[in-house]
Structure 1
Amino acid sequence: MNRVTALKQQLKPGKVYRREDLIRYSNAVDRHLAQLVDEGILEKVAQGLYYFPKQSIFGAVPPEDEVLVRSFLKDDRFLLTSPNSYNALRLGTTQLYNKRVVYNHKRHGEIDLNGRKFFFHKTPYFPKKATPEFLLVDLVNHLDSLAEDRDMVLKNAFLKAKTMDFNKLKYAVQEYGHTKTKKLIEPVLDQMKSEAYVN
């Protein structure tokens, strides 16, 4: 068995590999990786990052965003989201954005992975999953970047906030809100708190 075949046998469909993950299986990893790319067995998705495609009846299946990001960061601690997620809040946001946002502890900046742009935001605080409370705070954080009528969206966000769990929303504002966002939402929290006492 030659070295390229031995390297190929270590690959699993649907997985993304870092160059350093494969060094132990090859005595000339760069040459062997280039050969596998030339043969169409591997796809180079970024510098030092390779994808072994999973096949379907329609051909090669592109790598999942989570798999790409996890391999790129070499870390499970990240939150992958998009401005499209705001649409679930039903605040009047209807635009579809071709934008992927990655909250993480390691990288910052715009990175191209497999021909798709990912916007990495290095931050110490983000939830494990995008809760409605987090999405509302995140939307207000990035209100200026939205294509919709911002005054209308903000007004709807305040109305939506009043229907949310007070403690969960307060926590999201404190942990994830930018300074401007805190100033905007804290009066809503104060009102929710006072109304709770009245009731």
Structure 2
Amino acid sequence: MTGAQIITQTMEQFPESELIFASKLYTEQLSEAVSEEAYYQTLGRMCKAGSLCRIAKGTYYRPKTSKYGIVPPSQKEIVAAFTEPDKGTVVGYSLYNSLKLTTQVAKTVEVFSSEIEQRTKNISNVLLQFCNLVYTPEVKGMIHMLEVLQNFGEIQDLNYHQFITFCEKFAQEYDGKVFEQVLQKMRYQKKTISFLRNILNHYGVENNLNKYLSTLSEYKHPTMEEIYETAYAS
């Protein structure tokens, strides 16, 4: 069997529309069978022949066709490829909307993922950012809270009642080890950590977030008392 045949046969094992990460596939399955140059030349020929499509640099899929032509992977399929299982999580307005913190939506879905080769990547209307974590439910929950707090002042039409519910649930499940795990890989502003400390202190949750903050600094963010007042004044 020739190298091109080996590559073609490997590609045909992927379901139609499933994203194929070329570099990862080569390293894990084909590096001993064909040269890297021959591998990418074959991918190029497959694309020209129509048996393979390139959706972004280093990312391909086997096309699914309908009577209207090629059907590219949907936004949902692209997001799933970079988030499931434990590969990443959705952030930005798609996250805020799923948490019912706002009814606002965005055309572009933002994703943190360990599954991309470079720091950032755009595929269709999905914006991917690399972060090397194992995205367990606990890690996702911590990232979700930190993302909400970091961008709190910019979330349009924020539902304060729902935010309070979100905080109450998070406080019950808070795990300091998970926080440290996330902070080792991702950068969050000091005011975000201070905001989180204020929430945990409000609900009587023991934490050691003081060690990340300066006693000489005053961090600008709402207090839970102010959030409760805003929620119940409206």
TM-score (norm 2): 0.57
Aligned-pair identity in percent equals: 17
Secondary structure at the counterpart of residue 163 of structure 1: helix
- Give the alignment of 1:141-180 within 5 angstroms: 141-146=150-155, 148-149=156-157, 152=158, 155-156=160-161, 159-164=164-169, 166-169=171-174, 171=176, 174-175=179-180, 176=182, 178=188, 179-180=190-191
Q: Deviations over 1:140-171 (max 9, x none)?
A: 1233553x05xx55x54652245315342364
Q: What runs of 5+ residues in structure 1 fail to find an aligned partner?
A: 71-75, 195-199
Change (3 A) 1:135 1:106: same
- Give the alignment of 1:17-96 within 5 angstroms: 17-18=21-22, 20=26, 21-22=29-30, 24=33, 28-54=38-64, 60=71, 62=73, 64-65=77-78, 68-69=81-82, 78-83=87-92, 84-96=94-106
2:193 is equivalent to residue 189 of structure 1: no
Equivalent residues of 2:46, 2:52 under 8 A apart: yes
One-letter identity of the residue aligned with 2:109: K
Aligned to 1:73: none
Deviation at 1:56, TM superposition (A): 6.7
Equivalent residues of 1:18, 1:50 under 8 A apart: yes
Q: What runs of 5+ residues in structure 2 fail to find an aligned partner?
A: 206-234
Two-structure CA RMSD over aligned residues (Å): 4.0
Secondary structure at the counterpart of residue 96 of structure 1: coil
Change (3 A) 1:186 1:82: closer
Equivalent residues of 2:79, 2:126 under 8 A apart: no
Deviation at 1:52, TM superposition (A): 1.9
Aligned to 1:128: 136
One-letter identity of the residue aligned with 1:193: G
